[in-house]
Amino acid sequence: MEEIIRLENVSKKYKGKSKSIFEKPKEFIAVNDVSFSINKGEIFGLVGESGSGKTTLGHLIIGLKSMSQGKIYFKGRDISTFTREEEKKWRKQVQIIFQNPYSALDPKRKIGWSIEEILMIHKIGDKASRRKMAEEILYEVEIDPSLMDQYPEDLSGGQRQRVSIASALIVNPEFVIIDEGVSALDVSVQSAILNLIRKLQEKRQFTCLFISHDLNVIEYLCDRVGVMYKGEMVEIFNAGEFFESEHHEYTQKLFSTLL
Ligand SMILES: Nc1ncnc2c1ncn2[C@@H]1O[C@H](COP(=O)(O)OP(=O)(O)OP(=O)(O)O)[C@@H](O)[C@H]1O
Average per-residue pLDDT for the chain: 89
Per-residue burial over 71-88, b if 16 or more Cβ lie within 10 Å, else e, is ebbbeeeebeeeeeeeee
Q: What is the mean pLDDT of residues 50-68?
A: 93
CATH number of 3-258: 3.40.50.300
Q: For 138-183, write each residue's pLDDT tens digit.
A: 999 999 989 999 998 999 888 998 999 999 999 999 999 999 877 7
pLDDT of 258: 59
Ligand 1 binding pocket includes 226 (Cβ within 6 Å): no
CA separation for the pair 94, 91 (Å, rounded):
6
Ligand 1 atom at shortest distance from the alpha carbon of 16: 4
Q: Which residue has the least CA distance to atom 12 on ligand 1?
A: 30
Whether the CB of 47 sits within 6 Å of ligand 1: no
User: What DSSP designation does 221 have?
Assistant: H
Closest atom of ligand 1 to 58 CA is 18
Query: What tens digit of pLDDT does each residue of 203-252 get?
Result: 999 999 999 988 888 888 999 999 999 999 999 999 888 777 678 888 88
Atom of ligand 1 nearest to the CA of 53: 18
pLDDT at 47: 92
- What is residue 196's predicted lDDT score, i.e. its pLDDT? 94
Pocket test for ligand 1, best of 54, 230, 234 (most atoms within 8 A of CB): 54
Q: What is the pTM of this model?
A: 0.91
Q: Is the predicted pLDDT of residue 102 greater than 90, yes or no?
A: no
Ligand 1 neighbourhood includes 59 CB (under 6 angstroms): no
CB 150 within 8 A of CB 34: no
Q: Is 66 in the pocket of ligand 1 (CB under 6 A)?
A: no
Task: Kindly tell me if the per-residue pLDDT of 76 is higher than 80.
Answer: yes
Predicted confidence (pLDDT) at residue 7 exceeds the cutoff of 90: yes
Here the contacts of 143-151 (C-beta below 8 Å, separation 24 or greater) are 147/111, 148/110, 148/111, 148/112, 148/115, 149/110, 149/111, 149/112, 150/110, 150/111, 151/107, 151/108, 151/109, 151/110, 151/111
With a 6 Å cutoff on the Cβ, whether 14 touches ligand 1 is: yes
Q: Is the pLDDT of residue 8 over 70?
A: yes
Q: What is the 12 CA–ligand 1 centroid distance (Å)?
A: 10
The answer to whether residue 74 scores a pLDDT higher than 90 is yes
* 21 alpha-carbon distance from chain centroid: 38
Phi and psi of 130, rounded to 5°?
Answer: -65, -40
Q: What is the pLDDT of residue 58?
A: 95
